[in-house]
Structure 1
Amino acid sequence: MYAWDFGPVLANGDLLWAGLRSTLALTAVALAGGLPVGLALALARLSGAKSLSVPAGIVIEVFRTTPPLVQLFWFYFGLPIVVNVEMTPYLAAALTFTIQSGAFFAEIFRAGIVSVDRGQREAARAIGMSPSQTMVRVVLPQAVKRMFPAMMERSIELMKTTTLVATVSYADLLYQANELAQKTFRPLEVFTAAALIYFVTISLFSALGALLERRMAASGEMAAR
């Protein structure tokens, strides 16, 4: 029978806590950058100009259909060769997950914008709103409310995908867990603790998202699914 011993894990809990902070920080940066990138890509793809829609479509498809690990390796190992700049693990990870999440958010934005009744756009134009005013004041507020569940789901997926950054030595939770496992020779306990930390953290974010969604639905600000 295996003798479980979480003592070494508890004694080095500060390492796992530091890793969790790094994971949350990277996720926050990718979300903060990915949302505006996604909106810009969605608007470009929906525009009538091929000079905008075609490049946007290419970016979206490339980052949605290629493995995130390949993207991360390209930014970390390939981009410095192409542009001759120094690339840190954090910068490579931030660029990778910002653009990748932006590609997924672009499709969410596009679906939400298209779902808004065209008659509302025509009514806004009829009262003198410009296309940009119509998008900001009429279309996007409704679209964002409808997109909220999909955005929450994608945000949670992003947090789980960030575990790949351990491969380029970014000190996230998985990287710190691996270091601790080698230090204590207790990999079963360490990775069990890491899994529990991920479970609790993601469950809390899921519960918060569900609560916000219910409140928005109850207040009549979002149509029930």
Structure 2
Amino acid sequence: MYQWDFTPVLANADLLWQGLLGTLSITGTALAFGLPLGLLLALGRLSPRRWLAWPAGFVIEFFRTTPPLVQLFWFFFALPILIDIRMTPYLAAAITFSIQSSAFFAEVFRAGIVSVERGQWEAGRAIGMRGPQVMRRVVLPQAVKRMIPAFTERAIELMKTTTLVATVSYADLLYQANELAQKTFRPIEIFTATALIYFVVIFGLSLIVQAVERRLAVSGDNTVRQGAG
């Protein structure tokens, strides 16, 4: 019978905490840059001008359909060769997941904008607003409210995807767990504790998603679910 011993986990809890902070840091950075970039991509894809719509559509589809690990390796190993810069694991991860998440956020934004009734556009123009003003003052406030659950779900998926940064030696939670497992020779306990940490954080976020969805359902607002991919 295997004798469980979580003493190494408790003794190195500070390292796991640092790893969790690293995971939250890269997730927060990707959200901070991915959301505005996703909005720009969505507006570009919805534009009637082909020179905007086609490039935006290509970026969205490319980063939604290619594996995030390949993207991470490209930014970490290939980009420094092409432009002669020093690429740190954090910078490579921030660029990768900001762009990759923006492609998914763009589709959420696009679905939310399209879900707003055409009459809202016409009402805005009827009182003298121009297209950008109608988008900013009338359409986006309604669309964003409907998209909150989808945004939160995407943030959860993003956090799970960031475990890939361990492959480029960024000290996230998974990287720290792997280091501790090799040093303490207690991989079962270390990775069990790591899984529980991810569960607590992500399950807590999913509870927030459910609460938001219930609140929006009570208020009568429709919600936009994120697209498959």
Q: Which residue of 2 aligns with 1:179?
A: 179
Q: Which residue of 2 aligns with 1:5?
A: 5
Matches within 5 A, 1:141-152: 141-152=141-152
Tell me, in whole angstroms, the C-alpha distance in 2 between the residues paired with 1:24 and 1:217: 29
Tell me, in whole angstroms, the C-alpha distance in 1 between the residues paired with 2:110 and 2:177: 38
TM-score by length of 1: 0.96
2:119 is the alignment partner of 1:119: yes
Tell me, in whole angstroms, the C-alpha distance in 1 between the residues paired with 2:36 and 2:214: 25
Tell me, in whole angstroms, the C-alpha distance in 2 between the residues paired with 1:105 and 1:65: 14
Q: Which residue of 2 aligns with 1:20?
A: 20
The share of aligned pairs that are identical, in percent, is 71
SS of aligned partner of 1:222? coil
Q: Which residue of 2 aligns with 1:43?
A: 43
Corresponding letter in the other structure for 1:164: L
Stretches (4+) displaced over 6 A: none
Corresponding letter in the other structure for 1:223: N
Unaligned runs of 5+ in 1: none
Q: Which residue of 1 aligns with 2:34?
A: 34
Once the 2 structures are TM-superposed, how far is the Cα of residue 208 of structure 1 from its aligned partner? Answer: 2.0
Corresponding letter in the other structure for 2:15: L
Per-residue CA deviation, residues 151-195 of structure 1 (Å, 9 max, x unaligned), is 111110000000000000000000000000011000010000000
Tell me, in whole angstroms, the C-alpha distance in 2 between the residues paired with 1:43 and 1:22: 32
Once the 2 structures are TM-superposed, how far is the Cα of residue 147 of structure 1 from its aligned partner? Answer: 1.3
Once the 2 structures are TM-superposed, how far is the Cα of residue 146 of structure 1 from its aligned partner? Answer: 1.5
Tell me, in whole angstroms, the C-alpha distance in 2 between the residues paired with 1:122 and 1:224: 22
Q: Which residue of 1 aligns with 2:56?
A: 56
SS of aligned partner of 2:82? helix
SS of aligned partner of 1:85? coil
Corresponding letter in the other structure for 2:128: G
Distance verdict in 2 for CA 1:224–1:167, change over 3 Å: closer
Give yes or no for contact 1:22–1:172 (8 Å, CA) kept in 2.
Answer: yes
Q: Which residue of 2 aligns with 1:108?
A: 108
Tell me, in whole angstroms, the C-alpha distance in 2 between the residues paired with 1:183 and 1:211: 41
How many positions carry a matched residue from both structures? 224
SS of aligned partner of 1:3? coil
Tell me, in whole angstroms, the C-alpha distance in 1 between the residues paired with 2:217 and 2:59: 34
- Tell me whether 204-213 or 26-35 shows the greater mean CA deviation: 204-213
Distance verdict in 2 for CA 1:144–1:14, change over 3 Å: same
Tell me, in whole angstroms, the C-alpha distance in 1 between the residues paired with 2:3 and 2:151: 42
Give yes or no for contact 1:145–1:221 (8 Å, CA) kept in 2.
Answer: no
Once the 2 structures are TM-superposed, how far is the Cα of residue 196 of structure 1 from its aligned partner? Answer: 0.3
Q: Which residue of 1 aligns with 2:227?
A: none
Matches within 5 A, 1:58-77: 58-77=58-77
SS of aligned partner of 2:87? coil
Q: Which residue of 1 aligns with 2:156?
A: 156
Once the 2 structures are TM-superposed, how far is the Cα of residue 55 of structure 1 from its aligned partner? Answer: 0.6
Tell me, in whole angstroms, the C-alpha distance in 1 between the residues paired with 2:223 and 2:162: 31
Tell me, in whole angstroms, the C-alpha distance in 2 between the residues paired with 1:15 and 1:62: 36
Tell me, in whole angstroms, the C-alpha distance in 1 between the residues paired with 2:33 and 2:223: 29
RMSD: 1.2
Once the 2 structures are TM-superposed, how far is the Cα of residue 217 of structure 1 from its aligned partner? Answer: 3.6
Tell me, in whole angstroms, the C-alpha distance in 2 between the residues paired with 1:148 and 1:71: 27
SS of aligned partner of 1:120? helix
